[in-house]
Structure 1
Amino acid sequence: MAGIIPHQIGNLKHLNWLNLGINNIVGSVPPAIFNSTLSIISLELNQLSGHLPSDMGLWLPNLESLYLGGNQLHGSFSKSICNASQLIRLDVSHNYFSGSIPDNLGNLRNLKILNLQGNNLTSLGLSFLSSLTNCRGLEYLLFGKNQLLSGQLPGLVGNLSRSLQRFDASFCNISGSIPSEIGNLSRLISIFLFDSKLTGTIPTTIGGLKELQSLYLENNKLEGSIPFELCHLNKLAFLLLTNNKLSGPIPACLGNLISLRNLFLGSNMFSSSIPSSWTGLNDLLILNLSYNSLSGPLPIDMGKWKVLTSMDLSNNQFSSNIPTGVANLKDLTHFSLSNNRITGSIPESFGDLLSLEFLDLSRNNLSGEIPKSLENLRYLKYFNVSFNRLQGEIPKGGPFGNYSIESFKGNEALCGAAQLHVPCSKTRPLRNSMVRTKLIISVALPIASAILVLALIIIILRRRKRKDRSTTQEDSTPLGTWRRISYHELHQATDGFSDRRLLGNGSYGSVYQGTLLDGMEFAVKVFKLELEGAFKSFDVECEVLRNIRHRNLIKIISSCSNDLDFKALVLEFMSNGSLDKWLYSNNHSLDILQRLNIMIDVASALEYLHHGNATPVVHCDLKPSNVLLDEDMVAHLSDFGIAKLLSEEDSMIQTMTMATIGYMAPEYGIEGIVSTKGDVYSFGVLMMETITRKRPTNKMFEGETSLRSWVEESLSSSLNQVVDTNLQSSIGGKRSATDNCALSILLVGLECSVEAPDERLDMKETVTKLKKIKVRSVHITELHGLELQTGYFSLRQIKAATNNFDSANKIGEGGFGPVYKGVLPDGRVVAVKQLSSKSKQGNREFVTEIGMISGLQHPNLVKLYGCCIEGNQLLLIYEYLENNSLARALFGRDEQRLNLDWSTRKKICLGIARGLAYLHEESRLKIVHRDIKATNVLLDKDLNAKISDFGLAKLDEEENTHISTRIAGTIGYMAPEYAMRGYLTDKADVYSFGVVLLEIVSGKSNTNYKPKEEFVFLLDWAYVQQEQGNLLELVDPCLGSKYSKEEALRMLNLALLCTNPSPTLRPLMSSVVSMIEGKAPVQAPLIKRKDADQDARFKAFEMLSHDSQTNVSTFSHDSQAPRSTVMGGPWTDSSMSIPDETRDHSSSSMLLNNNP
């Protein structure tokens, strides 16, 4: 909804609730609104501007909630609001309010939520905190990102409400120590004090905050050691202490914090080894201990961190071999051991780390060869083993074709392909007899070892055969590890198999709950032997359950059989019943993360059955009633009565169809063909059923309509049509995060349930995808207000729109595939970005771009209509913009360039600035684009600018101000602090904007224009012209004299101001908008040009240049410059980009605090 709020709205005398939030409403807030009986005013996330009435709080006797966050309101913060005595929730965050925070906020005795973040507010000595001690019900106190706030946190913070759950004073100029009295706030869940000037030690009293889940203290000047009292925080999930001056040993007791997800202790002065107790942190996702003085061996059991996705141990003094258990970290994407003293060889098992994207083992003492198994790591984008003692031939396959000599230098005995300039040939002979001797030993020892191992294997096998024979004679039950249970005991434990104990009925039997005399509960499955197939079902289930063990499979305790009369299996008792009960009972409900966890559990069980045994097991009857939940809501797959065991030589078998209608794969239902891909199909249906809460046998799925086809067709119009209404109604402010998670699960479900078995995922791929969704969701569910507004399109729809991707409709070529023009059935003209199935970028940036832009609506952002993920197709469907990219308009071939007059150029600059201001300061999700360049600015038919390509973007939560990350962007546009140190803030976008602004005024490309050999960039030339007082020499000659010299000087000075080497001296984008509009003056500092070896920008360029040499692909037909190696704008790519080497987490992207 757009437009203004009519003044007449104040005439609605009986209006109680006004909700106009999350729209495109402009103009001022009518004063009449503040003279009413309203109890709730919700105007957040619009484009409202102007001042609020100074007496706004005097005439609102019933007001309980006032939401004004995410607008463009300015002026002083009215003290009269403190007269609205019934106020419970007050949110004025992310506006331009200035002046002092009222000292009488304590008059609002009922206040629970106070959010003042992201303004320009002040408070002498933080005096406003004193009055807030009167608000005894205060739960949220958020005043971070007010950079003018200064002073010390007073001890009276300990007198704030005992109900306080979240305290945010981050990114202010707060100094002094953290008061020990903060330990009085016993219900605190989150403390955000990062990016300030705090000194002193971490108070031990924080250890008394038993409910604390998040402690963010990074980027301060804290000293001393980590208090052992922190080890009492059993619920702590996020501990971030990066970039302080902390020292001493790392407490071993942190290993007791089993809830830890993110542990960041990097850039301090810690000394000790990694405590062995830490291997008990089973839910750890990210570990960063880099840049300390840690030593000793790496934990031999670090393979127990099963869900770890990122581990940075670089720049320490670790000395040991790399533990082979690292290969168990199947979700690991980022692993750095750079600059340590690691010895031994690179484990061959590293080839099993299929999710790995970043591996840095440089500057150690590694020896041996680079394992050829690393060729399997198809997602590995960054690989560095330089400066070790490696030898032999560098692998050629997989990702190794993309690496330069920089990845391998400093290893004299390595050789490789011709492009690496270290060829393997006869010209590299053994240098002396010592080398020959070593070679003989290296050959002889393995042969001798192999003979010895073979002899041991023969001995062991003979002994095992004897043991097996004796075991078979002694115990014929499926499991001999537990005592036998007689029929009498079972009868007594189940009250004679009474109906009161009945848990459920299956195809071949009934399940009862039983309790033994010692109090142990169990479930017993009693087979109905009168049914045909019951005997076989008992035998199959015994065989399967006897030979498999997995945490997500039901465990068999014992069995009871007296040949022909009675057969039963004694199983674990699952206290929470079946998934079917939780989905369809009125008194049970599951939130989105519970559903996702259950899906991961079932997928893990299936992965084990299909790939974890010499004999693959096909379950054949996957459905909600066969998924059981224990007391911790961990899912266990049950009922193997019709399971099939595939021999090693058979990938499928043909049999009689016995599974459940609605869940059966087509090839099983029609032809009786059983394979693991049949289970994958059933699991896809199960995923869709779990999210939609619609049985595949529902009456609505008759004829040609199935659950799958309904989901696929409905997603293209509205996600809400298919997602379970219980999810939609129960998530409140977290609705959009749930939508993103639900959409991701449904898309995986669609990939699993395609008709052709060969096109389905396997369960390993499925588990990986679901776990990545979970990693994203751990953070995404903490975001508020992201509403996924894209639709899902089928491949059939897109083929029809583009005439089957006809070359006549091709309008551009990007680094990862072509872009086509298409027409949807409703007449909308669209641009379809088609990612190549061979793209190393993969789904990560694809999902990032969907997650980022789908929740954003702004006139200067490109509109994303939807996406398509089907088979190996990854498609993004955008609005079609007739005038292509700004890069082509400025730098394209003669027939492509546009005649852009001065007013048009100014309009384009203003449009880009407004789009970035919205991303940084106005949207609820604060987003850093990371790749602003002329290629990524598109022009519509009226030459309005729209920012595109969010594949590299990063989310900036309210409690985060920066991320230290691997660089991802375009050479020539990246800010120096980002290019050199990976230090990312929104000021990096400001720098890139300054470069683009210079290009627009000059009509020249920053990276291609070199008036003299000594100048690397156009920006360097601009500095020279500024020093000489000749800035107007930069103006595009095509403009002739038809431009305003005053405006041109303002634009050029603004470009230099935005590209200041110091990020703190660059303006906010909202200020840039005012400067372009002439509402604020521009005073560009005189920046003295330095020699290339001193200038930060040139250091950054030097660091990146070798990477870019191998990343450049062929030339685009639309451009004279190399194509980008990251996802380009929907039309063409014309500049060289460096891909991100970290994982995404989005929204599908990652939060800024999760990837130092």
Structure 2
Amino acid sequence: MGKIVSVFVVLGFLVLNCFANFGSHAQRLPDDEVQTLQSIFRKLNFRNGQVNQTSCTEGSWNVTIDDSNGSNFTCDCTYSNNTVCHVTVILLKGFNLAGVIPEEFGNLTFLQEVDLSRNYFNGSLPKSFARLQNLTKLLILGNRLSGSIPLEIGDISTLEELVLEDNQLVGPLPENLGNLKSLRRILLSSNNFTGSIPESYGNLKNLTEFRIDGSNLTGRIPNFIGNWTKLDRLDLQGTSLEGPIPSTISQLKNLTELRISDLKGSSSSFPNLQDMKKMERLILRNCLITGRIPEYIEDMTDLKILDLSFNQLTGPVPGILQNLKKIDYIFLTNNSLSGTLPDWILTSEKNLDLSYNNFTESSPATCRESRVNILSSFSSTGSNSVSWCLKKDLPCPKEAKHYSLFINCGGSPTEFEENDYEEDLNTQGPSNFGIVSDRWAYSSTGVYVGNESSKYLAANQYGLNVSGAEYYKTARLAPQSLKYYGLCMLKGSYTVKLHFAEIMFTNDQTYKSLGKRMFDVSIQGKQVLKDFDIMEEAGGVGIGITREFKDVSVNGSTMEIHLYWAGKGTNAIPYRGVYGPLISAITVTPNFEVDTGGGLSAGAIVGIVAGSCAVVIILLFILWRLGYLGGKNVEDKELRGLDLQTGYFTLRQIKAATNNFDAANKIGEGGFGPVYKGTLSDGAVIAVKQLSSKSKQGNREFVNEIGMISALQHQNLVKLYGCCIEGNQLLLVYEYLENNSLARALFGNAITKITYTFSLHLWN
């Protein structure tokens, strides 16, 4: 029994001795490193940052917020015979840490990785990071960093990844970043950099990823990109860079993702991408590319997205595209593709958009909601079997009758100011054409970068106190192109109101409030908003604003409202895939009196003419009192002083439109002068009536017509666009109609007779 007790005593002594030795060799952080970390955490107000000498072994720092955000601290405890630890990785993502980034980071000289993405840091990027000569990753996406990138960053020879996307950095790109031979990833998108891409960046031969979307860089896309032969991904969307895409791009055989958009400069042929057989996502949008789609696309067997939209491509759709088994999205909209549309496209289960081309149909098609958007792809001269919605400019299949439009974009039916806004709840978006009866339709194109499952409808998910009408609480979105069409509309002038409210960012001091949405808007093919930022224009999020356009002409039967993302703004705040056009509601009302009975009666005509008499009498009386109706010359400045209640054109505009009143453009001769056909710089076709300013009758006719036509607003009346008064020229500018309707002819005769009768009584 005594022997057994002795054995236990010995064993106990050995165990205690082991613990004592373990304690004396515990893995600890040095005191100076503990103090540095405590100072950093205190300045950041990071509540989970309780640090001491044993924190590396306790693991109390690591906190998970979600799949992409949280904190992680990694230590290397192999120093001094496994007794000393040093922090090598600091990851603090999504904590909304504010203030400036502490300079003390530069004292943690063993750091290899720093990730401070999606916080609320402001100020400049600390120069002290240059002291971290073991640093391989510096990631600070989605903050408020301003100023320029410090030159000292170019001295971190070990740096492999530099990610500064979605900040407010300015100035030129530092040339000495080209000295970082180990650099693999450089992500600088969504900042405000200027100047060109430095030539020194041609030395970065280990690059696998380069992104510079949405910056104000200028100059040509550099030839030296051909040096980046290890490149896997290249993003050059929404810059001010000029094409053409350099031929050296053919050397980038390892590319899997290529995104270039909205280039300036002149057109060029399709770049040589023949050896890029690993390609998965190929986006060359609005790059001024001409010619045919190359057959070698078939060899990109892993291709999932092909976007060649908004170029100048010609020829047929290559049949080889149907052999791409992994393809999910094909966007070829807004080109000049022609020929017979292949049957496989009409029956495809893929998301395809071939709208706005010049195809002829191979088999009957119907207007339907589909993944295949072939809206307006067909020329109007195609087969009679072509459905109306596939024809150029969406001509009305029957008599046009609509004169207003109220849409709650992305929302349910609602009422505002006694107008009923129709619902718009279709969830489709990548390549969709949706029709709502014969009144309106929408067309959506594109897939979100970094989040291809993002939705195309938005709601007030952050509980914002949204001001204004109910329709501001929802919206329709698009990653690339969104078009609304007013269908079967009466000819005439309309007022278009576009309603916006930013509801996808927060109204607080968090990274979720730092998004910057920018897009362009065109109406009837004319750009009316450039780089439009809802939040900036409204003065914050959740604030409803309206942009009004008062004189939008419908000369056919369709009104088109186009919202387009040109690659600018953020695309990773509050998460990837939040960017592009957003609209809350659309209001369209006529600028003319609507005849709900279908025509004007003789009594209505007399009433309208009588109502216009006061305008004409006043104008004629003023001219007579000033002596302008006595045969003397009319001076431009004096006649312009009258309120003629119409638009004004310069003589230079009119001469340019009519080719200096070329006889070939003369389309008629009236009692008071010739009439010429012309085309304005925006493409509008006009008829110009030239009156003599020296004759008493010409002056009367000039003012008489302005007063009369300005007072008359009806879909069956020719519209007076405006006048020109320069020197001895008196010109009236009307809309040009190729074929006048019988109603217009009859009404015109009636007006002429009443007008001349009224004039005779006035002057006799």
Per the shorter chain, which TM-score range?
Answer: 0.3 to 0.5
Larger radius of gyration between Structure 1 and Structure 2: 2
TM-score of the two chains, using structure 1 as the length reference: 0.32
- Larger helix proportion of the pair: 1
